């Protein structure tokens, strides 16, 4: 196992040296942020990022993310060219020594929360939270006030995009996904890169948009499309775990060798276990890495038992000790998470 830490490049308020100071930290997880989605990443930008990491004594072996252009997900006329561009980016990342690329196939929205600073009354910390009823009450067609939404689309553009997805159901999305995988996996394999798909977060339909990477059946289906060794998964415990019907320990053990990258974080379910919304949408708040509704120790044990030898990063942290920063991506709680997770792995392996 190699412990890593996500770093958002020059705009990240956390200096690389602070990351290096976290015990057992081996490298950063980052991306090139100066190239528009769909274009090939320049060798210069990749090399610059690597140089920065190395000069702080950190490796750069994991990319999160190379974003997938919406035209690919929509199966538009430009999809083949965009897929070829994606494959070229992978070749260049491989040349620079990158081993794993994390990506997702969620239409329009990446991770979604209704609250970026959910207040924990017990200890005064705050964290990201998702309230399903609050999300159901939002209408993306009439101006979205979504926390964390980067507004990279104007209101008009977003409406047009959502309208185009009206013809795309889950099955159509799977077909477009299969075309993407078939187009990029040979290049990934040649480049020595394992692709690690991030699950949909949360793992159910939102705003009428299809979401397909939601649990074990989706993982099986991906392997039916291609059993290339380059076809792998990011085990994001908080994302798969948002649906209590997902058996995280089972998934971790079964696919351990297909999991080159794990995002480990915990969540606390905010509705009762007898609620019928399970699997379709439920509510949760992010909690400290060791405590919450997910049994982190058992998940890590299952990974180890299954033969996991990938990269780990402490996923989202809470805001604690008065820190102000990028929601989910402060220094303090993620550093605590990293130390806890290193200890868990050591205890289990020894």
Q: List, by residue number, the catalytic residues.
A: 198, 236, 263, 315-316, 329
CB nearer to ligand DNO: pick between 241 and 328: 328
Kindly give the interhelix angle for 296-306 and 332-349, rounded to the nearest 10 degrees: 50
Tell me whether the omega of the peptide bond preceding residue 238 falls within 30 degrees of 0, making it cis: no
Selected from 58, 82, 98, 102, the binder of ligand DNO by CB under 6 A is 102
Selected from 103, 118, 240, 255, the binder of ligand DNO by CB under 6 A is 103
* Matching residue, tokens 């274009």: 39
Residue 78 neighbours by CB under 8 Å, 6+ apart: 69, 71
CB nearer to ligand DNO: pick between 11 and 156: 11
CB nearer to ligand DNO: pick between 65 and 293: 65
Residue 284 has phi, psi (to 5 degrees) of -155, 160
Provide, rounded to whole angstroms, the least separation between the CB of residue 115 and ligand DNO. 15
Can residue 240 be called a binding residue for ligand DNO (CB under 6 A)?
no
Task: Specify the 3-state DSSP secondary structure of 157.
Answer: helix
CB nearer to ligand DNO: pick between 62 and 102: 102
Of 115, 145, 109, 111, the closest CA to residue 270 belongs to 115
Can residue 198 be called a binding residue for ligand DNO (CB under 6 A)?
yes
Could you say which residues in the range 283-322 bind ligand DNO, by CB under 6 A?
A: 316
Provide, rounded to whole angstroms, the least separation between the CB of residue 169 and ligand DNO. 21
Selected from 12, 61, 64, 131, the binder of ligand DNO by CB under 6 A is 64
β-sheet bridge partners, residue 28:
5, 60
Could you say which residues in the range 250-279 bind ligand DNO, by CB under 6 A?
A: 263
Can residue 111 be called a binding residue for ligand DNO (CB under 6 A)?
yes
Contact, 132 vs 278, CB < 8 A?
no
Gap between the Cα atoms of 326 and 246, Å rounded: 29
Contact window for ligand DNO (CB under 6 A) among 39-47, 99-107, 204-212, 245-253: 99-107
DSSP 70-133: HHHHHT-TTHHHHHHHHHHHHHHHHHTT--EEEE---SS--S--SEEEEE-TTTS-EEEEE-HH
**Residue 239, CB half-sphere, CA atoms under 13 Å: how many?**
27
Contact window for ligand DNO (CB under 6 A) among 100-108, 162-170, 281-289, 339-347: 100-108
CB nearer to ligand DNO: pick between 29 and 302: 29
Provide, rounded to whole angstroms, the least separation between the CB of residue 202 and ligand DNO. 12
CB atoms within 10 A of CB 321: 12
Contact window for ligand DNO (CB under 6 A) among 102-110, 118-126, 162-170, 305-313: 102-110
Length of the chain: 350
CB nearer to ligand DNO: pick between 103 and 255: 103
Contact, 90 vs 191, CB < 8 A?
yes
Can residue 88 be called a binding residue for ligand DNO (CB under 6 A)?
no
Number of H helices, E strands in the chain: 12, 12
Can residue 110 be called a binding residue for ligand DNO (CB under 6 A)?
yes
CB nearer to ligand DNO: pick between 67 and 348: 67
Can residue 65 be called a binding residue for ligand DNO (CB under 6 A)?
yes
Can residue 228 be called a binding residue for ligand DNO (CB under 6 A)?
no
Selected from 4, 85, 104, 231, the binder of ligand DNO by CB under 6 A is 104
Torsion of CA 301, 304, 305, 309, to 10 degrees: 160
Provide, rounded to whole angstroms, the least separation between the CB of residue 103 and ligand DNO. 5
Which residues contribute to the site for ligand DNO (CB under 6 A)?
A: 64-65, 102-104, 110-111, 198, 263, 316, 328
């Amino acid at each position: 196992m190699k412990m890593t830490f996500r770093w958002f490049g020059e705009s990240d308020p956390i200096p690389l040296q602070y990351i290096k100071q976290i015990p057992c930290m081996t490298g950063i997880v980052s991306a090139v942020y100066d190239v528009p989605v769909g274009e090939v990443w320049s060798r210069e930008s990749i090399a610059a990022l690597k140089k920065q990491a190395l000069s702080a004594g950190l490796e750069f072996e994991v990319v999160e993310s190379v974003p997938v252009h919406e035209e690919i997900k929509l199966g538009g006329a430009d999809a083949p060219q965009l897929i070829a561009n994606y494959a070229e980016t992978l070749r260049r990342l491989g040349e620079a020594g990158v081993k794993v690329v994390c990506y997702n196939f969620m239409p329009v929205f990446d991770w979604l929360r209704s609250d970026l600073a959910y207040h924990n009354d017990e200890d005064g910390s705050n964290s990201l939270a998702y309230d399903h009823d609050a999300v159901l009450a939002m209408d993306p067609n009439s101006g979205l006030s979504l926390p964390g939404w980067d507004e990279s689309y104007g209101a008009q553009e977003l409406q047009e995009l959502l309208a185009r997805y009206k013809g795309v159901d889950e099955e159509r999305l799977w077909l477009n996904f299969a075309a993407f995988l078939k187009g990029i996996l040979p290049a990934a394999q040649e480049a020595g890169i394992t692709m690690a798909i991030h699950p949909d977060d949360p793992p159910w339909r939102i705003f009428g948009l299809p979401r397909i990477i939601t649990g074990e059946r989706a993982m099986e289906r991906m392997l039916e499309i291609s059993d290339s060794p380059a076809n792998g998964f990011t085990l994001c415990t908080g994302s798969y775990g948002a649906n209590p019907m997902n058996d995280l320990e089972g998934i971790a053990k079964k696919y351990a060798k297909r999991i080159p990258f794990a995002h480990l974080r915990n969540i606390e379910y905010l509705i009762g276990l007898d609620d019928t919304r399970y699997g379709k949408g439920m509510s949760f708040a992010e909690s400290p890495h060791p405590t919450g509704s997910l049994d982190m120790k058992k998940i890590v044990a299952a990974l180890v038992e299954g033969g996991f030898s990938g990269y780990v990063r402490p996923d989202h942290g809470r805001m604690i000790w008065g820190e102000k920063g990028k929601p989910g991506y402060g220094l303090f709680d993620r550093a605590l998470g990293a130390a806890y997770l290193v200890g868990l792995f050591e205890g289990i392996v020894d």
